[in-house]
Amino acid sequence: MKNDPIRIGINPISWSNDDLPSLGGETPLSTALSEGKAIGYEGFELGNKFPKDPAALRELMAGYGLDVVSGWYSGRVAGRSAKEEIVAVETHLRLLAENGCKVMVYGEVADAIQGEPHPLYKRPRFRSADAWKRYGENLTEFAKFTLSRGVRLAYHHHMGAYVESPDDVDQLMANTGDEVGLLFDSGHTYFGGGDPLTVLNKHIDRICHVHCKDVRPGVVRMARNRHWTFLESVLNGAFTVPGDGCIDFAGIIDRLKTHGYKGWLVVEAEQDPSVAPSYEFAEKGYNTLRSLLDGVPVREVA
């Protein structure tokens, strides 16, 4: 599988949630790594429990026969200059580059409310064409720097942030250079009001990383109608793993394959492990993606 153009990884959030430590916070990293390896995953994205020293991280992952896929970076390009961001990212970028990562998950957290007690409709927005243009220029300058280190910026459109809806993604892509890659997240696309396959098709040339997250549409509707916060939406089960919701992953995988996508599919589904047992759901997500990649019918796990 290391020779396959598309590889399957996972985020440790299935076992332990960094934003909500009450969700699996007591689960040791070793459990996530050993179970992920046993299921068949080839790599992990990083979380707060991973070593921050490049050599220590490399040694840890080698012990499990796993690769480092990437790692979330909380960026603030919307609130400071590209030069300031370049200084801020140095340690994290080195950690990724020295562990063979080709992309860095960039999440814009300036003014974001994803971890705040505010309903999602109160998220920040760029209110003018000039604001989008300034943001795009700043972000492109920053992305040129990360690319010079061999790591492409993979922009994560995210609930509660400046770039949430399909229109936001359109503006982002129109106002940035090709150095800025797009992280396509199926779950956030749906929750943000878009059809995942439509958004995928529109921006497929810029997609450099993929988060595979399914949704429970009834919960998403309640989240919007009841003005839930992002974390309330997570706690109530808005997200789940591929094969457990309504998203057309067969269509998504087929489109990525025909386009010649080369990179990772990362199962990343924020859930409460006490409600959605980590191993069971991580296995379901893996089996769904593996079957679709291999072109065989998805087999339900008893």
Please check the confidence at residue 188 and state whether its pLDDT lies above 60.
yes
Per-residue pLDDT tens digits for 96-113: 999 999 999 999 999 999
Per-residue pLDDT tens digits for 189-247: 999 999 999 999 999 999 999 999 999 999 999 999 999 999 999 999 999 999 999 99
Please check the confidence at residue 130 and state whether its pLDDT lies above 80.
yes
pLDDT at 22: 65
Cα–Cα distance, 281 to 41 (Å, whole number):
13
**Are 144 and 176 within 8 A, CB to CB?**
no
Token match 């960039």: residue? 106
Per-residue pLDDT tens digits for 15-70: 987 777 666 667 899 999 999 999 999 999 999 999 999 999 999 999 999 999 99
pLDDT at 40: 98
CB count, 10 Å around CB of 158?
A: 22
Average pLDDT over the chain, rounded to whole? 94
Q: Which residue has the higher pLDDT, 145 or 16?
A: 145
Please check the confidence at residue 118 and state whether its pLDDT lies above 70.
yes
| Centroid of chain to Cα 277 | 20
pLDDT at 302: 37
Cα–Cα distance, 226 to 178 (Å, whole number):
38
Which tokens sit at 78? 């919307």
Beta bridge partners of 8: 265
Query: Which H or E run includes 210?
Result: strand 207-212
**Are 210 and 256 within 8 A, CB to CB?**
yes
- What is the set of domains in the chain, with CATH numbers? 69-277 (3.20.20.150)
Per-residue pLDDT tens digits for 242-296: 999 999 999 999 999 999 999 999 999 888 888 889 999 999 999 999 999 998 6
Please check the confidence at residue 300 and state whether its pLDDT lies above 50.
no
Confidence of residue 1 (pLDDT cuts 50, 70, 90): low
Sign of CA dihedral 47, 74, 245, 251: negative
Q: At what angle do helices 166-174 and 196-203 cross, to 10 degrees?
A: 10
Per-residue pLDDT tens digits for 232-242: 999 999 999 99
**Are 219 and 237 within 8 A, CB to CB?**
yes
